[in-house]
């Protein structure tokens, strides 16, 4: 299959030119851990990665925590032998604890060990973008950020950024080394980043890639009350407030407004939800999770979908 020419943009000041939609590898980490998505088929995951790359997607975002190495291992298998590989972004600071639950650590030695393990699983000499996954414990963010700066100096990572940090935390670490990228949660059902974080990133020239632009699946147009009830026992969304009333009812009503706009453009509610996040001038790219090849094409339209003011007003209308 020929590569599709997807819309691209500069990721902040990194010099990386990325497609506006990237492959999110959280879900392919599988189930059996605190934030798992239930059972996954690794061969299907690899097929999904290959299909996304064939369609022109040029970056993958993963993390050591996703299945405690499983996601990175699957990504590594998918990349092995490719003539041209995509950019690979991954994250550190979440370790495996008792009962397959995450333990937060920003200690230098832990992060250096994580980087070495991630490089091995991914089969890379250097990680294109390495990120602190969470700013926890708060007092240790300077130590964690200094470790990333050290890895960059050593050439083991090319660019460094953070995920889930607020503006005050970004200010704290900027004097140690420039923050090149930020990865916040941002969607129509999680808009807190609009208040201070996205404007701060835009002013400071920090590249932004947002995660969960479809609200972890609630805005795809395929989620129903029955499907939520039937989610696997080890799918973290079963216990998330967004998938329960009263938020669930509001989100499903929002999906119908997305569907109205999607029908006008000949696309899907999920693609419109992703395009809505990309309309923000601070946002360079959106991370979209794919687990099967057939999930890829309906969302790629978001990379070039431009929403009119009236459409945005209709989508956001809660009256």
Does residue 255 sit within a domain? yes
Whether 130 is catalytic: no
Does residue 53 sit within a domain? yes
Write down the pLDDT at residue 230. 80
Does residue 76 sit within a domain? yes
Q: What's the CA gap between 159 and 161, in Å, rounded?
A: 7
List of long-range contacts for 222-230, beta carbons under 8 Å, 24+ apart? 222/270, 223/252, 223/255, 225/252
Residues spanned by the domain of 24:
16-316
Does residue 96 sit within a domain? yes
Q: Do 288 and 10 meet the contact criterion of CB atoms below 8 Å apart?
A: no
Give me the number of domains the chain comprises: 1
Taking only the tens of pLDDT, the chain with its 319 residues reads: 344 579 999 999 999 999 999 999 999 999 888 888 788 999 999 999 999 999 999 999 999 999 999 999 999 999 998 999 999 999 999 999 999 999 999 999 999 999 999 999 999 999 999 999 999 999 999 999 999 999 999 999 999 999 999 999 999 999 999 999 999 999 999 999 999 999 999 999 999 999 999 987 789 877 778 877 888 877 778 778 888 888 888 888 999 999 999 999 999 999 999 999 999 999 999 999 999 999 999 999 888 999 999 999 999 986 4
Q: Which residue has the tokens 């050593």?
A: 154
**CATH number of the domain that residue 114 is part of:** 3.20.20.100
Which one is catalytic: 66, 87, 130, 186?
66
Write down the pLDDT at residue 231. 80
Pairing of strands 94-96, 102-104: antiparallel
Does residue 148 sit within a domain? yes
Take residue 42 and report the two structure tokens written for it.
């690794």
Does residue 61 sit within a domain? yes
Q: What's the CA gap between 31 and 137, in Å, rounded?
A: 25
Write down the pLDDT at residue 236. 73
Does residue 173 sit within a domain? yes
Write down the pLDDT at residue 292. 94
What's the predicted TM-score (pTM) here? 0.93
Does residue 7 sit within a domain? no
Q: Percent helix, strand and coil across the chain, each rounded to 5? A: 45, 15, 40
Write down the pLDDT at residue 4. 55
140-173 pLDDT, tens per residue? Answer: 999 999 999 999 999 999 999 999 999 999 999 9
Q: Do 62 and 75 meet the contact criterion of CB atoms below 8 Å apart?
A: yes
């Amino acid at each position: 299959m020929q590569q599709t020419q997807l819309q691209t943009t500069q990721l902040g000041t990194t010099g990386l030119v990325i497609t506006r939609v990237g492959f999110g590898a959280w879900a392919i980490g599988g189930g059996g851990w605190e934030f798992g998505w239930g059972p996954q088929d690794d061969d299907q995951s690899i097929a999904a990665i290959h299909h996304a790359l064939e369609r022109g997607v040029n970056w993958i975002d993963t993390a050591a925590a996703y299945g405690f190495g499983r996601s990175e291992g699957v990504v590594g298998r998918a990349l092995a032998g490719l003539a041209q590989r995509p950019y690979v972004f991954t994250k550190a600071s979440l370790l495996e604890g008792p009962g397959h639950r995450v333990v937060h650590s920003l200690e230098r030695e832990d992060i250096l060990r994580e980087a070495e393990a991630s490089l091995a699983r991914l089969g890379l000499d250097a990680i294109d973008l390495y990120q602190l996954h969470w700013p926890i414990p708060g007092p240790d963010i300077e130590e964690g950020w200094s470790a990333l700066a050290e890895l960059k100096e050593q050439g083991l990572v090319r660019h460094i950024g953070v995920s889930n940090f607020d503006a005050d935390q970004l200010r704290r670490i900027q004097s140690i080394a420039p923050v090149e990228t930020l990865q916040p949660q941002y969607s129509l059902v999680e808009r807190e980043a609009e208040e201070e974080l996205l404007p701060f990133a835009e002013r400071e020239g920090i590249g932004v890639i947002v995660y969960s632009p479809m609200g972890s699946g609630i805005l795809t147009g395929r989620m129903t009350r029955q499907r939520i009830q039937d989610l696997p026992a080890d799918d973290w969304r079963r216990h998330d407030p967004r998938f329960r009333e009263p938020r669930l009812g509001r989100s499903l009503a929002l999906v119908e407004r997305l569907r109205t706009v999607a029908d006008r453009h000949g696309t899907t509610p999920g693609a419109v939800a992703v395009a809505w996040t990309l309309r923000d001038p601070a946002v360079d790219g959106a991370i979209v999770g794919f687990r099967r090849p057939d999930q890829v094409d309906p969302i790629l339209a978001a990379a070039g979908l431009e929403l009119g003011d009236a459409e945005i007003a209709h989508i956001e209308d809660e009256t």
